[in-house]
Chain A
């Protein structure tokens, strides 16, 4: 048999979503957690056989005596994280988002959230950040977790967001869920005079025609789309909403006032995530505004190369620009 033809290799499980020429920061979560732990002896880390793939290995190597490997047993890991918190420690427990939510939800809910413990659940590969198929695509994690009382949910945009969120999550007395971007993570927000504040949205740029209300990595795409649309004389504002719960409703209500086109952007199914949270906020306030959701469809997504999938399912900058132009035409 002869040697085969080389094809796309980007459908590897943990392919990067950074653009080729983009500034990135390597392993921001692992370094931020290790730095925090240097100062705070109560910080501990857990993993379910994915330390290397959730950037927890940096913490593990820096503080081996405070790292607990639980094996590929996500329910036991979240139960143990609750136990560590009960005896006075501040755990960060990491695995892939799918396993933290679909698999171990009962343990997250009853062991951690109900007693309102300071356990920080860190879910890697949120939304569509792997081309590995539905077993690893956590497209509905926000929908699952938004309904969980006491839980604070953070969907960071980039390495700046992650580095600043880690100490904030440790300081927050209740449970949190962090949608982790891992590996080489784009660095974007340092150009926007931005500081992460738990529970607060941030206006990154103003614009008269369109407002993107975006979260997670989609804020990066929203900023890119805003730049491109500027060249077509479309004036676009971007409101970044890194905390999904509790939601900064004041900022959202301010953003939707007026006659700008409102486009919500999220790396998540359009059901039960940011889009519906914004829609509910607006409707409950008695404001009649059309909201255009740029989000993943209500289906199990395909396996394939990540750029292909982001384009097909509407998360690429190209797709976002096309969506806005269609809505404005």
Chain B
């Protein structure tokens, strides 16, 4: 019985992930290019947190400033296309508004900014800022007796930034069990593969050495993600990190193998094929 219920939830979240991917493709097509690969890669992770009714986050979609909400900080501002799709899934942003992505006067700029978008907690883009703010939110919420939790989605490239590790030290020192870091390990940075730019592995051992409870999962495996989130929720002695190994372009096979994947150009005729591939993958 329990297994059946978990499978059902996993199925619903996988469906939400497909909707997030579909929305990301829509926005990508509007601009003709962008951080499509990352959005497709991280869609399953975002679905676990933002799926309607099933999401891990405590939110009021129509009241994004509700004080009791869980905070989800996107420090990787260039993943905004993915978070806009997730916010549409959650119901905070109307689905039809996604077509304004990246246009002049839109609430959905290319890079995520708090002052533009309901549900966007911080202005990211300059990397290595999210975890420091998460630390302050965690301290403040605990101080005020507010049970809300703080999540910070960062990328493996962001582990290059020293400020990330300063904040990691502080979160562990203050035993912030209300703070969770989510690291999207897709192995790719602006100049090329992470292994060539600046080697970050072993990622799990680094966080553990900094005093964090680390859980590493396949970030494109929804049941594994759900199990990881459950484990983190039950860890009450200090901060946790969910390390998610994801695949750039996941769900659209011909984008998964594209060489120029960091800021992905997609030809005009390919979008329709991408949509078909996506629907085929989850049908």
- Which of B102, B116, B157 has the largest number of chain A CB atoms within 10 A? B102
The answer on a CB contact under 8 Å between B110 and A75 is: no
How many residues of chain A get a CB closer than 8 Å to chain B's CBs? 39
Assess A9 versus B111: contact at CB under 8 Å? Given A73-B162, A99-B126: no
The answer on a CB contact under 8 Å between A69 and B32 is: no
State in angstroms the CA–CA spacing of A314 and B151 once bound together.
40
Instruction: Name B190's contact: one of A12, A50, A133, A304 (CB within 8 Å).
Output: A50
Chain B residue numbers with a CB within 8 Å of A49 are 157, 160, 189-191, 197-198
- 0 or 1 for each of A116-142: is its CB under 8 Å from B? (1 = yes): 000000000000000111111000000
Instruction: Name B125's contact: one of A6, A50, A132 (CB within 8 Å).
Output: A132
Q: A305 → chain B, closest Cβ, in Å?
A: 6
Give the residues from 84 to 120 in chain A that come closer than 8 angstroms, CB to CB, to chain B: 98-99, 102-103
How many residues of chain B get a CB closer than 8 Å to chain A's CBs? 41
Q: Does A286 have its Cβ within 8 Å of any Cβ on chain B? A: no
Q: A265 → chain B, closest Cβ, in Å?
A: 24
Q: Does B137 have its Cβ within 8 Å of any Cβ on chain A? A: no
Q: A300 → chain B, closest Cβ, in Å?
A: 8
Q: B78 → chain A, closest Cβ, in Å?
A: 8
The answer on a CB contact under 8 Å between B160 and A72 is: yes
Q: B57 → chain A, closest Cβ, in Å?
A: 24
- 0 or 1 for each of B188-205: is its CB under 8 Å from A? (1 = yes): 011100001110000000
State in angstroms the CA–CA spacing of A1 and B30 once bound together.
13
The answer on a CB contact under 8 Å between B33 and A12 is: yes
Q: A312 → chain B, closest Cβ, in Å?
A: 9
The answer on a CB contact under 8 Å between B110 and A132 is: yes
Q: Does A297 have its Cβ within 8 Å of any Cβ on chain B? A: no
Q: B120 → chain A, closest Cβ, in Å?
A: 12
Chain B residue numbers with a CB within 8 Å of A69 are 191, 196-198
Q: Does A257 have its Cβ within 8 Å of any Cβ on chain B? A: no
The answer on a CB contact under 8 Å between B125 and A136 is: yes
Assess A70 versus B111: contact at CB under 8 Å? Given A11-B102, A103-B126, A135-B125: no
- Which of A1, A12, A53, A72 has the largest number of chain B CB atoms within 10 A? A72
Instruction: Name A72's contact: one of B123, B124, B127 (CB within 8 Å).
Output: B127
Q: B264 → chain A, closest Cβ, in Å?
A: 12
Q: Does B109 have its Cβ within 8 Å of any Cβ on chain A? A: yes
Q: Does B259 have its Cβ within 8 Å of any Cβ on chain A? A: no
Q: Does A303 have its Cβ within 8 Å of any Cβ on chain B? A: yes
The answer on a CB contact under 8 Å between A71 and B103 is: no
The answer on a CB contact under 8 Å between A303 and B116 is: yes
Give the residues from 94 to 108 in chain B that come closer than 8 angstroms, CB to CB, to chain A: 99-100, 102-105
Q: Does B92 have its Cβ within 8 Å of any Cβ on chain A? A: no
- 0 or 1 for each of A1-39: is its CB under 8 Å from B? (1 = yes): 101111111011100000000000000000000000000
Q: Does B77 have its Cβ within 8 Å of any Cβ on chain A? A: yes
8 A-B contact pairs sorted by A residue (CB < 8 Å): A1-B22, A12-B34, A47-B191, A49-B157, A71-B157, A72-B161, A135-B113, A135-B126
Seed contacts A6-B32, A133-B110; 15 additional CB < 8 Å A-B pairs: A1-B22, A13-B263, A47-B191, A49-B157, A52-B190, A53-B190, A72-B160, A72-B190, A72-B197, A132-B125, A135-B124, A136-B126, A303-B116, A304-B104, A308-B104
